[in-house]
Amino acid sequence: MNFQPLGKRVLVKRVEEANTTVSGIIIPDNAQEKPSQGEVVAVSKEVSELELGNLVVFGKYAGNEVSLGTDKFLVLNTEDIFGIIG
């Protein structure tokens, strides 16, 4: 995969969250919300505050989903990213 975001954008792969509750109840896929965390896999040349591999938190409905090969990613504007986890 070779994708270079333009502008102040990054390419993020969603990180799947646990699919069980604290009490052990399994949540079916169709009842789960899309995760709002992801790993940065590509960064625009205009973005200096994020690096590859950063784990970030972003808005629930932020970004545009793109398919590259068999994988799905989000293209996010940097202002849609709330912060870096870690």
% residues pLDDT > 70 (the chain): 77
pLDDT of 3 > 70? The answer is yes
Q: CA-CA distance, 26 to 39, in Å (whole number)?
A: 25
Tell me what pLDDT residue 60 has.
86
Tens-digit pLDDT profile for residues 23-60 = 666 655 544 456 689 999 999 999 999 999 999 999 98
The average pLDDT across 67-81 equals 95
Topology, domain 1-15+33-86: 10 Kd Chaperonin, Protein Cpn10; Chain O (2.30.33)
Q: CA-CA distance, 64 to 52, in Å (whole number)?
A: 19
Tell me what pLDDT residue 35 has.
62
Contact 85, 57 (CB under 8 A): yes
**Would you say the pTM of this structure is higher than 0.85?**
no
pLDDT of 86 > 80? The answer is yes
Tell me what pLDDT residue 23 has.
66
Within 8 A by CB and 6+ apart from 26, the residues are 19, 20
